[in-house]
Amino acid sequence: MHELSFAQEIVSLVAQEARDLGVSRVVSVTVTVGRLMAVETDNLWFGLDVLKSQFGETSQTVFLVVEQSVRLHCSHCGQTTDMQNWTFACETCGSHQVEVVAGDILEVTDMEVADETEGTLETMETEGKNDDEGECRKECYGSKR
């Protein structure tokens, strides 16, 4: 399952990028995967979701994995077409003088970070301990009898 090693690479890269930018939280990341990479997008997404907790910057990040179809540019007729049926041939004229112009990437194409200038979300420290203790005390005393 090479998706996991790709996921590890991406998560590390995003966390590093966040540190370089001086932000503490990455909101969302879009990963574009070309079909030629032969990556299971579901597995990649799962890997990202599991591995993101390694870094504080990415622990809350929403990852989006989008697939990119393979596009071929034909040097014979000049058309750029989507590759059909895994055949490296021009859809328009059938020529094999084609070049892959899309679909062979696996990279972060979009990254949204928290706007630190507007102030980060304040974490409220709710202390409901007293109530819980009250509840517990009653139950504990009850069970002792």
In the bound complex, what is the minimum distance in angstroms from residue 67's beta carbon to Zn ion? 24
**Residue 30 token pair:** 């879009």
Out of 13, 64, 89, 93, the residue judged to bind Zn ion by CB under 5 A: 93
Nearer to Zn ion, 28 or 92 (CB): 92
The interface mask with Zn ion, positions 60-89, x = CB under 5 A, is: --------------x-xx------------
Out of 37, 65, 90, 113, the residue judged to bind Zn ion by CB under 5 A: 90
Nearer to Zn ion, 24 or 92 (CB): 92
Q: Cβ of 68: how many Cβ atoms within 10 Å?
A: 17
In the bound complex, what is the minimum distance in angstroms from residue 87's beta carbon to Zn ion? 13
AA identity, residue 139: E
Nearer to Zn ion, 88 or 120 (CB): 88
Nearer to Zn ion, 19 or 76 (CB): 76
| Size of residue set near Zn ion by CB under 5 A | 7
Buried b (16+ CB within 10 A) or exposed e, 113-130: bbeeeeeeeeeeeeeeee
Distance in angstroms (rounded) separating the CA atoms of residues 7 and 74: 33
**Residue 95 token pair:** 């020529």
**113 pairs with which residues across the strands?**
26
Using CB under 5 A as the binding rule, whether residue 108 contacts Zn ion is answered as: no
Out of 30, 68, 80, 95, the residue judged to bind Zn ion by CB under 5 A: 95
How far is residue 45 from each of residues 36, 93, 128, 130, measured CA to CA in Å? 17, 37, 36, 41
Please name the residue that has the structure tokens 């697939």: 67
Q: Which residues bind Zn ion (CB under 5 A)?
A: 74, 76-77, 90, 92-93, 95
